[in-house]
Structure 1
Amino acid sequence: MATSSSIDGPSKPPSPLSFADYRYYWFARFTAVMATIAMVVVIGYQLYDTARSSYGMSIKEASFQLGLLGLVQFIPLAVLTPVAGWAADRFERRRVAIFSNMIDLTIAATLGWFTWTEGLTLPLLFTLAALHGVARVFSGPAMSAIAPNIVPPAVLPRAIAMSSIAWQSASVVGPAAGGLIYAVHPTSVYIFAAALLVLSAFTVSRVRPVLPPPAEVRRHPLREMVDGLQFVWTERFLLGTITLDLFAVILSGATAMLPVYARDILHTGSEGLGFLRAAPAVGAAIIALGLAWRPIERNVGVKMLWAVAAFGAGTVAFGLSTNFLLSLALLVVMGAADMFSVFVRGTLIQLNTPDHMRGRVSAASGLAISASNELGEMRAGAMAAVLGPVSAVVVGGVAAIGVTALWARIFPELRHARTFEARFDPAND
């Protein structure tokens, strides 16, 4: 006797977590992000504190050093992004992800040693921050390109939302844990990070091999790298989606100023910095949970634009706040708005890119995200050196709102995106 499943077809799994490979992938992402964000928070605080204490710099001068920290992380991203995208499309993607984990493990061990021996200097911190940029540039495209290969296309929007939950929940735990552990025993935070990176590398190795997609004709590596950039440039829809985040966050990024707010404006120290860094992830995790439970399906482009504008408005309010609890609440709102736009952008990119281009397009998207973060930190640091940290944050938030309005006009494709509507079937491209 035929069952209903044989007549109607197999039922869809209720969650991406019903796939063992995705569970391994999710946990590997969670542990790696928690480790690296804990390190990044502490590196920023150590650099600012070292500049103020050991080098005798003023608040404005030390704020500028935080801007330089963003710049030195961006340089390897800018140089190596085409290589990282090509690697994600040519090599087994798990191995590329594990390679990046090993770079970060080396950074954790080095920072742990020099923190313990009290040998930290600004040149050392800048060098290790740049090396972390190398790890990030290879990790992002490889990990992003794995997900579409281990779940069916129909499950991908929920898989992306749940991957964001891994990222955002780790972004809640990581900064708070990093700040608190550092306050108790500075070296221990790097031992904590190293253990998580080893666990992440082991877990991602449990995912089934994700082989590079076949190509009818293999071209020179440099030609394939250029192909990825040309694909993004000629697809106005993808170009508008990626560049919106790039310019909005370059102008409104306030993350670099958080050590300044924690130490000299809100007066909360490293413990407060951990909570300030975790607050946006709290809002993001709440939105990610909602989207995983009930993904949006209609008017996705307009909603993304409004989310970016809300992020800019929240940045303005945060910049003006001198109350710790109000600042935390505003950062939660900013994280929620950012998560909404990240979900829409990530789903649009994955579902509108053929699999053989996913690594390179993900690399281009990752470069835009990293450029927005790191160059945004540089912009904030340079502006803070002239205007002060509060004015740097407020002016940036206003500018981000303006960019959103401008992009809605020059990229009408974004306003007209009613659904995600994949043009490339990941199973058949």
Structure 2
Amino acid sequence: MVVIGAGPGGGSAALHAARAGLSTLILEADPEVGTPVHCGECLSELAVQNLGLELPDHVKALDVKGIRVIFPDGTEKLLTEQGYVLEKHLFERWLCDEASKQGAELLLQHRVTSMERVYNSENQFVNWKLDGKGDEFPIECRAVIDGSGVSGAASKLLDMGGEVEVIAGFQYEMLDVPNDGYLDFYLWPKYSPHGYVWMIPKEGGRANVGLVTTDKKGAIKYLNSFIEDTYLADKPTANPPWRAEGIKIRPFGGTIPISGPRTTTVGDGILLVGDAAGFTSPLFEGGTHLALWSGREAAQTIAAAMKEDDLSNNRLMAYERAWKKRFPPYHKILKGKTALYDLTDEEMSTMARCLPEELGNMSPFDKVVIGLRILVRKPILFTKRVIPVLLSFGYSRAKFFGW
């Protein structure tokens, strides 16, 4: 079996495939696993527990208390739930190392450029022929798990569910940034149209400070403006236009799928995991927990199908049924997200002031109280679909995975 991509989805798939006794080959296009880093690097303790992971200390950048959401007028609300900021490149390397200990083989600088299915005379799927850039191509294999990202192998070479909408993510690693153990998410449309700004702290005063926005061309400009206008203005970053001194740390970013899963994540002999399948939360774009789970589920589905000698689309649909049952309701999150960005700054802040200080584990009574507060202070919010907005916050938490 071949796993394309050594990110969290691919690494998880390779580890569990190897544990299941499958001959497993990981193909990674880059010269090393984990770089360049493309995300904010955080993972909830709830996700770690539900995935059965035992994270070694060296992959953790900081133990954190939870998330603080900050609205346009400065109103702050907490979601207290323990988790970790990761050294993502070390985390992904650890996954691949663990897979290698179970017998998986890793090939770096191997980029897939051609995928061809082989069928027998009865039109039954037999195997794959893969070609590409790398010394070991061509490669034949029985099954493929694609964890190569939103614009990876399957999306380019196969008809796997049409186009996926993406959002631009960009961040700096900064120095000497104060923190109290919370991740800060700023819902400030001024600095991140149809997105948000984050401050994700690490040990020693380091922090990832970045944003996502639908305005891909303006992402760097918005982030620089946020830093210039806030408490971060005097902190050194990589390549800053406002300050030349300080340790230079490379900025980084990437594209994130935001339209929910592809219309199909399964085909004869292939399953899509992580970003390749569109598995990120559409509101806050977190995807590591979903990638890890989907990688494990895909590997277990492939292992069971191989025992039955049936890698057909129909047999592998068990994977799609599993993630649809387990993952948050994407269509409801997208509905709430659309309504959220239809609010003005003042309306968004009014809504926030009606929320309790702690957003986690709100009871039905708490939700009724919130509704009454909104009704008294700003009844027009109900006509602007504030209820779907509030529900989307809860769904995005993905109760089985945390943040």
- Fold match (TM-score > 0.5): no
Structure with bigger helix share is 1
**TM-score, length-normalised on structure 2?**
0.28
**TM-score, length-normalised on structure 1?**
0.27
